[in-house]
Amino acid sequence: METDIRQAIHNTVAKNKAVYFSFLKDLIAFDSRILQAGKYGQEKGIQDYLKAYFKKMGATVDAFSPDNDKICGYAGFNPNHTYKDRENVVAVFKGAGGGRSLLMNGHCDIVPPGDETAWTSPPFVCEERSGRFYGRGTTDMKGGLAAAILAAGVLKELGISLAGDLIIESVIDEEGGGNGTIACCDRGYRADGAVIMEPTRMAVMPVNRGAFLARFTVTGKQTHAATKGLGVNAVEKAMRLIEALKETETRWLMTKKHPLLSNPTINIGKIEGGSGASVVPERCTVDFDVEFLPSEYDSDYRLLPVSPQAVKDEIQHCIDLACKGDAWLCEHPVTVDWYQETLCFETDQNEPFVQTALQSCRRILPDTALDGLPCGCDGAPLAHIGKMPVIIMGPGDLEELHTTDESMDSEKFYQAIEVYANLMIDWIGIADSK
């Protein structure tokens, strides 16, 4: 009976490939981009589509917009985002009773495709070429979201009813920092285990690095370049501070280590200053990204938690020190503005949920590894607010994130559907009557 069900799942996925591709195509066709780093977003079309789809599947559907007043107190909250016509959609498939519950979280928003003429095929038309699906959001992460929904569909098609509850969240504004998932946690959605279908090529990742986006502004004094000595060059002052950040990054590369994650980094992402070659600039603004670890080895090789505030303090301290060595900057101190944060989380590798997910995955992909996600995702709110064991596991490829010609291995997509359907059975359990 047991093996019959696994085989039936496999056969169903094999038989439905064309239908599954067409569902993915539908999702990719929605231009659900965020605007101004998540201040606004165009998620309405895809969320309306999914609402109707979930209802047809027989789920109880809850659609709601994040309420900033309610969620502003949570760590990781991103201020000043607006939520008109932006709803999370949560589908609950009620279990017959007695099993464990599973929550599957995916974001429906995407980053803009950039120069569309640089794409080989249009970003919102999902096309298959030599074993890969192309289109904005294939990897990040409509592919994963679609696979979870389709996995629930496989069980429904086979008439398998689950013992516990299955919750599928299609959230908004993940690319803007994660307010969508924070709002789902605030609304009370919980389960005994949570999967985020972000791209891992189906590796099981119980941990991720967090990220801060930050900015500092250096003020100088404007003059003509010919009388440079009378002014203060803000761009050149900013370069001192950038140098200091680079030194901190180098030290981190040598000292900060985690068993599943690569080292933390600081990326100088944008420099803005000056008005022309003949003017000594009076302002320079530098935007940078700090990737940080949830825990790191100390000198005795014990893995100890890292406080995100301590990471911020270290950066500010580095800037303060660099300012101290400069008379002008001593009088015009530079403060870091932390404008976006994506926190990290870590689930113990020995948690039954992590082990069950590994097992379910290895039924289909025997070489499945445990690994860590180098970037931020919605895992932190699920773990910290929701207090759930969380893993990241999805069909996309990390190298494809936010790229021109973003794509996903088509076989991985179908395997993900099969893995998720197996995980639903393994973790939630099949209802007794069946």
How near is the Cβ of 345 to Zn ion at its closest, in Å? Answer: 15
Catalytic residue among 109, 165, 169, 341: 109
Active site residue 109: yes
Residue nearest to Zn ion (CB): 140
The verdict on 92 binding Zn ion (CB under 5 A) reads no
The verdict on 140 binding Zn ion (CB under 5 A) reads yes
How near is the Cβ of 300 to Zn ion at its closest, in Å? Answer: 36
Q: Interacting stretch for Zn ion, rule CB under 5 A, among 17-25, 77-85, 165-173, 192-200?
A: 192-200
Q: Interacting stretch for Zn ion, rule CB under 5 A, among 11-19, 136-144, 233-241, 330-338?
A: 136-144
* Phi, psi angle pair for 63, to nearest 5°: -120, 130
How near is the Cβ of 254 to Zn ion at its closest, in Å? Answer: 30
Nearer to Zn ion, 123 or 281 (CB): 123
26-55 residues near Zn ion, rule: CB under 5 A = none
Nearer to Zn ion, 148 or 318 (CB): 148
Nearer to Zn ion, 173 or 426 (CB): 173
Count residues near Zn ion (CB under 5 A).
3
Nearer to Zn ion, 220 or 396 (CB): 396
Nearer to Zn ion, 32 or 356 (CB): 32
Catalytic residue among 174, 249, 296, 397: 174
How near is the Cβ of 295 to Zn ion at its closest, in Å? Answer: 23
Q: Interacting stretch for Zn ion, rule CB under 5 A, among 41-49, 66-74, 132-140, 147-155?
A: 132-140
The verdict on 141 binding Zn ion (CB under 5 A) reads yes
Nearer to Zn ion, 198 or 409 (CB): 198
Q: Interacting stretch for Zn ion, rule CB under 5 A, among 150-158, 198-206, 327-335, 365-373?
A: 198-206
How near is the Cβ of 198 to Zn ion at its closest, in Å? Answer: 5
Active site residues: 109, 174
User: In the complex, which residues of this chain contact Zn ion (CB under 5 A)?
Assistant: 140-141, 198
